[in-house]
C-alpha cells in the first residue's frame, strides 16, 4: 500500500517535473498564464462587440475552459511523451502499480489546471466587468475541482490513445479548440444545433461551466448539484475507459513488441 502511494505522489510529481524540466519558468508563465490571459480578454471583448452576453458569461466560460491547457495538453504529454522520449519500456518493465502510475500523473495537472483557472477568474475580477462575492467562492471552487478533474480524466484518455496513435498532439490540439465550440464556452448551448449540443453534453466542462455560471449569478450549491454530479460522472467514465485503453495498449505493445514503435 505504501508503494502505491509512493508511485502515486512521487511518481506523479516527477512526471510533472519531467514535463517542464526542459523549459524555464518563463515558458510556464507564457504558455500556461499568458495565453489564457489573452484568451479571456479576447472573448470578453468579442462578447461586448457582438452584444451576445455580458462579461460574466465569457469570464466564467473561459475561466473554466482554460484549465484544459493543463488537463488536455499536460495530461496527453504526461502519458504520450513516455513513448516519444523512449522511456515507456523501462517504465512498464517496473512492477509499479499501474493505477497509481496512471492516476498519479493526473494529480499535478489537476492542481495546475485549478491554478490557471483561478488566474483566469482573477483577470475577470481585475480587468473586466465581473464580480464575485466571498460567499460564492467555496461553491465555485468545488465546481472547479470537479470540472478540472473531469477534464483531466478526458486528457488521460487522449494520453492513452497516444500510446498507440502516431500523432496524438494533433488530436489534443483539435480537441482543445473543439471544446471551445461544443462545451458552451462562448456560446449558449441552446444556440448550437442539436447534434452539437448533444456532443457537448457528453464532454467534460459543459456541465461544469453551466454550474459555474449559475453560481456566479447567485445560485446556491444545491441548485447545481445535479450538474456537478453529472460532470463528475462524465469524468469517471472517461477515466475508466482511459485506464482500460492504457492496459490494453500495454498488453498489445508487449505482445507485438511495439511499445515504442513510432
Partner 1 sequence: MFEAGARPGTLLYVALGAGLMGVWSSTLFGAGGAIQWQRWQGTLELTVSAPTPFLLVMIPMTISAASIGLYSIAATLFWGRVFFGVPLHLVHPWLFALALPATLLGLGLLGLVMASTFILYRQASAFQNLLEYPVWLITGLLVPLALLPGWVAPIGWVLSPYWGMRAVRESALGGDALVPIGMCVGLAAVYLVLGAIFLANFERLARKHATLSLT
Q: Which residues lie near partner 1 (CB under 8 A)?
A: 23-24, 26-27, 30-31, 34-35, 38-39, 41-42, 45-46, 48-52, 187, 191
CB of 79 to partner 1, least distance (A): 21
CA terminus-to-terminus distance, the chain: 35
Q: Rounded to the nearest whole angstrom, what is the least distance from the CB of residue 34 to partner 1 in the complex?
A: 4
- Return the number of the residue (49 or 134) whose C-beta is nearest partner 1: 49
Name the residue nearer to partner 1 (CB basis): 127 or 219. Answer: 127
The residues, any chain, with a CB within 8 Å of residue 137's CB and separated by 6 or more, are none
Can you state the percent helix, strand and coil of the chain, rounding each to 5?
A: 80, 0, 20
Based on the number of CB atoms within 10 Å of its own CB, is 90 exposed (0-12), middle (13-18) or buried (19 or more)? exposed
Least distance (Å) between residue 43 CB and partner 1: 9
Q: Which residues contact 157 (CB under 8 A, 6 or more apart)?
A: 238, 239, 241, 242, 245
Question: In whole angstroms, how close is the CB of 168 to partner 1 at the nearest point?
Answer: 18
Q: How far is the CB of 67 from partner 1 (least distance, A)?
A: 16
Shortest reach from residue 226's CB to partner 1, in Å: 27
C-beta of 15 vs 39, nearer to partner 1: 39
Q: Which is nearer to partner 1, 48 or 164 (CB)?
A: 48
Residue with smaller CB distance to partner 1, 1 or 190: 190
Closer to partner 1 by CB, 45 or 251: give it. Answer: 45
Distances (CA, A) of 178 to 187, 196, 205: 13, 10, 12
Dist. CA 63–CA 117, nearest whole Å: 5
3-class secondary structure, 255 = helix
Written as nine digits, the cell of 126 is 481585475
Amino acid at each position: 500500500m505504501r508503494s502505491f502511494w509512493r508511485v502515486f505522489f512521487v511518481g506523479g510529481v516527477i512526471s510533472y517535473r519531467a514535463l517542464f524540466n526542459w523549459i524555464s519558468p518563463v515558458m510556464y508563465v507564457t504558455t500556461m498564464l499568458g495565453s489564457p490571459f489573452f484568451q479571456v480578454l479576447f472573448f470578453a471583448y468579442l462578447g461586448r462587440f457582438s452584444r451576445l452576453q455580458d462579461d460574466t458569461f465569457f469570464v466564467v466560460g473561459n475561466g473554466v475552459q482554460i484549465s484544459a491547457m493543463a488537463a488536455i495538453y499536460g495530461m496527453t504529454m504526461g502519458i504520450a511523451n513516455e513513448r516519444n522520449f523512449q522511456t515507456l519500456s523501462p517504465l512498464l518493465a517496473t512492477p509499479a502499480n499501474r493505477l497509481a502510475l496512471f492516476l498519479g500523473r493526473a494529480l499535478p495537472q489537476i492542481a495546475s489546471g485549478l491554478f490557471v483557472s483561478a488566474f483566469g477568474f482573477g483577470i475577470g475580477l481585475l480587468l473586466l466587468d465581473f464580480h464575485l462575492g466571498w460567499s460564492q467562492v467555496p461553491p465555485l471552487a468545488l465546481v472547479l475541482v470537479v470540472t478540472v478533474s473531469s477534464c483531466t480524466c478526458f486528457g488521460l484518455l487522449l494520453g492513452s490513445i497516444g500510446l498507440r496513435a502516431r500523432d496524438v498532439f494533433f488530436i489534443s490540439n483539435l480537441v482543445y479548440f473543439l471544446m471551445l465550440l461544443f462545451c458552451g464556452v462562448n456560446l449558449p448551448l441552446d444556440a448550437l444545433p442539436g447534434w452539437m449540443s448533444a456532443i457537448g453534453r457528453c464532454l467534460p466542462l459543459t456541465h461544469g461551466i453551466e454550474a459555474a455560471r449559475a453560481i456566479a449569478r447567485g445560485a446556491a450549491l444545491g441548485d447545481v448539484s445535479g450538474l456537478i454530479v453529472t460532470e463528475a460522472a462524465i469524468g469517471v467514465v472517461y477515466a475508466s475507459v482511459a485506464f482500460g485503453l492504457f492496459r490494453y495498449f500495454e498488453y498489445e505493445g508487449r505482445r507485438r513488441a511495439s511499445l515504442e514503435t513510432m
